[in-house]
Amino acid sequence: MVRPTQYLHPQREPAPVRAAATVLLLRDTADGIEVLMTRRSADASFAPGAYVFPGGRIDEGDTPARAIATRRRTQSRVQLTQAIAAIRESFEELGVLLAHYPDGRPVSAEEVAAMDRGTASTTVAFADQCVARGLLLSTDKVFTFAHWITDRDLPKRFDVPFLVARMPEGQTPTADETEQFEPCWVRPADALARHAAGSFFMIFPTVRTLERMVAYPTVDAVLDACANRAAGEGPIWTSCPRAGWLAGQEARYMETESAFGELALVSPDGQIVHTLDWQSAQAVPLLKNVQRLTAPNPGAMTGPGTNSYIVGDADSGYIVIDPGPNDFDHIGRLWRATQGDIRMIVCTHSHADHSPGALPLQKLCKTSPPILGLASAPTARSTARFTPDRVLQDGERLVLTTPAISDSGETRVPLHTLRVIHTPGHAANHLCLVLEEDGLLFSGDHILNGSTTVVDPPDGNMNAYLDSLDKLDAACADGGIGFILPAHGYVLGEARAAIAHLKAHRLKREAKIAAAMRQLPEGTPEQWLPLAYDDVPERMWPVAARSLAAHVERIQQMAKP
């Protein structure tokens, strides 16, 4: 867990969340699903002028209304109350009522029109009106599609299930003209296109929900996806987004998107303070004691470039992790970012985009800091040979200290401790580093953000790679590690979940390779490749062929008696 003293910005408590509910009313058309949307008032305190789904806060009167609500066996009381609130809000805002009589007949449009939507001088409670007419709420036909919690940076926040239901036949939406205006039916893809063109403003959760909705061809497909969830009545996804700056504008991200973990590390309270643009001109502070400087070597194999990390501060001096390629400007920037006070240079492995900058950086420093790492194995390619000044041992600790005065005189107080973990697989001499005081894992190329690393035999080995993943998972569990700082891409959050996802992906790919080998038992790797990597762009197949070879080697080893 990150020490609070290392955060770049003072933390503040996000605004409390309020319980609310919204519902996507859906209908089938010849061109696909349409969803009912309406425009919020320009004076609204939340999302003014945005096109939204009907919904609002859960009221005290929604809980007693359970007495007239129809309930699925698997529906919890909380979900029932949420469905009641969504039905009430769609009635008050758009005059649409999901209700029926005890004999199963749906409520008629005429009956709905005769009811008070809250605009009369003397308002009758929604539930009381339904009871007076002998109506039951069709809450058993309302399902949970998504669960959104408003972003931490906003002053007004809600905890909102995004529910789905089929639009009742024979009813016509009519806006209340106070909170909601211009009800319209729109295909999700069309709403997204109009939003992108600037003519149909929607907030982030609405956009992301419609992006998921595009995949469903019919209303039944949506409802079945919700009803058949393996976890029962839970949402298909839950998200509390985070925001940063990208290209000078606010950009928001869900938990599954690559920048989310970095924003969680830099600004856990959700303040919009971090810039996500990739650049090589200067180091990017992630914490007070961690900076990232990305080398100017973007490409298919390096993504936005190789990340060099600087650990430490002005009191302790610095450790540079992965000085990168032998690039004159990049090395100079590393030196300036540390004021030349580099105590150690560590290379996670010997590949050409990680270790060649070590010697030039060492020569630039007057103190000649030692170059540390693991020597290349004989299996390494000639372009990836590396010999450190000192070989690191698995479990060894590299410590940055600062002077302190005690009664017995000056002592050295540890400030930043990096523990070495030998992780062969991507390369035989690969290692990772754990910043113990802050629960950070510097993963080199073993774990990347946005892609899977190449395992290239003979120096790469798939058995060793998977074993190293298990080793890192155990280290994360034991050390309370929450974040992974990879050599390529943004910081990853939820470290153990990221490792589990990566291992599952590797084994799923291996299963496809094994299936291709069974399909063509006399085939060659060149013939298995298109079958096993049919979901990968063909331009990436030459790279994928290396990992395929590693998987084939592992599969054949496991098949031996």
Q: What is the DSSP string of 490-535?
A: SPBSSHHHHHHHHHHHHHHHHHHHHHHHHHSTT--HHHHHHHHTTT
Are the C-beta atoms of 161 and 139 separated by less than 8 Å?
no
Sign of CA dihedral 477, 256, 242, 244: positive
DSSP state of 77: H
- pLDDT tens-digit series, residues 105-161: 999 999 999 998 876 545 678 999 999 999 999 999 999 999 999 999 999 999 999
Q: How far apart are CA 263 and CA 270, in angstroms?
A: 8
What single letter denotes the amino acid at residue 79? Q
Q: Scan for tokens 């390096």, then name that residue.
A: 302
Burial category of 396 from C-beta neighbours within 10 Å (exposed 0-12, middle 13-18, buried 19 and up)? middle
| pLDDT, tens only, 265-294 | 999 999 999 999 999 999 999 999 999 999
Q: Which of 291, 297, 305 is nearest to 336 (CA)?
A: 291
Q: For residues 381 and 56, what is the distance between their CA atoms, to the nearest angstrom?
A: 62
Residue linked to tokens 């949420």: 82
Of 360, 415, 358, the closest CA to residue 390 belongs to 358
Please report the DSSP string for 101-137 in residue order: -TTSPBPPHHHHHTS--S-SSSPPPHHHHHHHTT-EE
Instruction: Tell me the domain boundaries of the chain.
Output: 17-240, 278-498, 506-559
Helix or strand or coil: residue 323? coil
CATH class entry, domain 278-498: alpha beta
| pLDDT for 407 | 56
Are residues 474 and 494 in contact, defined by beta-carbon separation less than 8 angstroms? no
Predicted pLDDT at 180: 81
- For position 124, what pLDDT does the model report? 75
Q: In which residue ranges of the chain is pLDDT below 50?
A: 121
The DSSP bridge partners found for residue 318 are 312, 342
Fold of 17-240: Nucleoside Triphosphate Pyrophosphohydrolase (3.90.79)
- At residue 227, the pLDDT reads 85
